[in-house]
């Protein structure tokens, strides 16, 4: 099956890291390591299958850097001049991408999996329904705007941060509300970016929110969270500022705890769309998503006998006869557990998630699995600098590094088809070829590879 981990040219001890056996607990059907999009998609599938499952996660990894856009495939790779009102259907964008990139991980998985791109879009919609994540959703790609004002297509966006094709087609005017002491959202650059989409664009300095020299995005998030009565001043300012027919753009300042309630109230009051720009760092969108997932874990699984959510670091594992038997986990409080499972899914992400270490050489951080890059087994002693091009326009092989899985439709001759551990599979950004930063497919590929790992 495609999800099995390839042994490659590097041989690994079948025993892994041995440790003293602790008191035996529940034997799980499945142990998932990682809580990014791929890990969460794997958990959703496990629940649907009725599997006794333990999800082990250290933190939310790359989710902490989440911009607010759930990327699936970037149609600009095939049509650089495409505009927001022309964005294609999501499944059509996937079909076009796969045809244009037959060697891509998307294409390789679809060739092995009995699933269509339409099915995948349905699975992604189900992901949001399952976890209660409010998103901007359309049959077509949706439009989001970065901190420079530049637009990009994405599959879905958090409810406060995207526009549908219909939204774009109905509006010709926009106003950007500039918060003077937030330095990452430059008004002139944003005005220039919005002007590529809208015929009329204004920039107005924010009022109705207290400012001082210490004001930052973090301060504003706390303000909207903890001083809800202060929203009235900002709402009144917008009522007196926004002109008929204008879409309102703001930095991602609408708090973390009550964001979607505040946003709905503003849109109802103004009778227009209010759109936050994509998040930078600190990531408002990442904090909001973490809160949604944490709340889901508590409300859905706190009393569950079949699903365990364990916040801990994997510090070792036992294996025997080509199978992983258990992983050793250490909580933030120092509690040590042994989690036993019949099957395991590795969904630890790449560099931001901590699944791949790259200093000074590359290493998979949980099972010390062999790594691959650009279709070849990677020398474990290769310095990371060897895969970085000084030309920013060239492909960066650094982002292709990851765990190899098989079988491939046309495997290179030096790939071994033997699995490292027959009950261990991998999904998401930890996979070789999952260069999500360069191909715009992070969320979609995470969900698809998680389905394939079951």
Quote the strand ranges of 19-141, DSSP E. 27-33, 53-57, 69-70, 135-136
**How far apart are the C-alpha atoms of 453 and 350, rounded to whole Å?**
17
**How far apart are the C-alpha atoms of 59 and 360, rounded to whole Å?**
23
pLDDT for 359: 76
pTM > 0.85: yes
How sure is the predictor about 241, in pLDDT bands with cuts at 50, 70 and 90?
very high
Residues in contact with 249: Cβ distance below 8 Å, sequence separation at least 6, in sequence order: 145, 174, 175, 176, 177, 190, 194, 275, 276, 277
Domains and CATH numbers, the chain: 4-66+287-453 (3.50.50.60), 69-278 (no CATH)
Q: Kindly state the tokens that stand for 437.
A: 């930063």
CB-CB contact of 283 with 257 (8 Å): no
pLDDT digits (tens, 9 = 90+) for 68-99: 999 999 998 888 899 999 999 999 999 999 99
**How far apart are the C-alpha atoms of 311 and 57, rounded to whole Å?**
5
pLDDT digits (tens, 9 = 90+) for 113-161: 889 999 999 999 999 999 999 999 999 999 999 999 999 999 999 999 9
Please choose, from the candidates 344, 218, 237, the residue with its C-alpha nearest in 3D space to the C-alpha of residue 286: 218
CA angle, corner 360, sides to 359 and 361, nearest 5? 95
CB-CB contact of 161 with 69 (8 Å): yes
**How far apart are the C-alpha atoms of 157 and 144, rounded to whole Å?**
7
Q: Residue 6 forms beta bridges with which residues?
A: 419
For the beta carbon of residue 302, count every other beta carbon within 10 angstroms.
Answer: 9
How sure is the predictor about 228, in pLDDT bands with cuts at 50, 70 and 90?
low
**CA 396 vs CA 5, 38, 352, 400: distances in Å:** 24, 23, 16, 8
pLDDT digits (tens, 9 = 90+) for 346-370: 999 988 889 998 877 888 999 988 8
Least confident of 76-80, 256-260, 311-315, 335-339: 76-80
pLDDT for 418: 54
């Amino acid at each position: 099956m495609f999800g099995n981990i390839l042994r490659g040219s590097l041989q690994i001890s079948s025993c892994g890291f041995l440790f003293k056996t602790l008191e035996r607990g529940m034997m799980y059907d499945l142990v998932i390591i990682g809580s990014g999009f791929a890990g969460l998609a794997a958990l959703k599938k496990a629940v649907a299958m009725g599997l006794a499952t333990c999800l082990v996660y250290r933190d939310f990894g790359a989710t902490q850097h989440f911009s607010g856009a759930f990327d699936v495939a970037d149609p600009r790779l095939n049509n650089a001049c495409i505009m927001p009102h022309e964005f294609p259907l999501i499944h059509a964008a996937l079909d076009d991408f796969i045809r244009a990139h037959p060697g891509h991980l998307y294409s390789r998985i679809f060739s092995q999996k009995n699933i269509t791109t339409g099915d995948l879009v349905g699975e992604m919609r189900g992901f949001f329904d399952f976890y209660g994540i409010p998103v901007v959703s359309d049959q077509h790609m949706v439009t989001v705007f970065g901190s420079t004002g530049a637009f990009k297509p994405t599959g879905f966006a958090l409810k406060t941060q995207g526009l549908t094709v219909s939204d774009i087609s109905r509006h010709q005017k926009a106003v950007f509300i500039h918060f003077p002491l937030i330095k990452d959202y430059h008004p002139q650059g944003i005005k220039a970016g919005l002007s590529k989409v809208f015929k009329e664009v204004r920039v107005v300095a924010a009022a109705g929110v207290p400012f001082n020299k210490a004001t930052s995005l973090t301060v504003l998030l706390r303000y909207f969270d903890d001083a809800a009565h202060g929203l009235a001043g900002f709402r009144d300012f917008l009522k007196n500022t926004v002109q008929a027919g204008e879409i309102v753009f703001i930095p991602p300042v609408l708090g973390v705890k009550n964001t979607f309630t505040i946003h709905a109230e503003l849109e109802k009051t103004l009778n227009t769309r209010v759109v936050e720009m994509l998040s930078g760092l600190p990531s408002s969108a990442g904090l909001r998503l973490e809160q949604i997932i944490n709340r889901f874990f508590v409300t859905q699984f706190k009393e569950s006998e079949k699903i365990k959510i364990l916040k801990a670091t994997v510090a070792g594992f036992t294996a025997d006869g080509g199978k992983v038997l258990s992983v050793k986990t250490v909580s933030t409080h120092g509690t040590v557990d042994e989690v036993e499972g019949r099957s395991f899914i590795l969904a630890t992400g790449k560099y931001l998630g901590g699944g791949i270490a790259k200093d000074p050489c590359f290493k998979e951080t949980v099972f010390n699995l062999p790594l691959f890059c650009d279709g070849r087994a990677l020398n474990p002693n290769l310095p990371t600098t060897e895969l970085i091009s000084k030309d920013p326009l060239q492909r960066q092989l650094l982002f292709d590094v990851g765990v190899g899985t098989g079988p491939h439709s046309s495997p290179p001759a030096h790939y071994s088809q033997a699995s490292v551990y027959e009950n261990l599979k991998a999904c998401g950004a930890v996979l070789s070829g999952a260069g999500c930063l360069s191909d715009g497919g992070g969320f979609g590929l995470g969900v698809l590879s998680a389905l394939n790992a079951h």
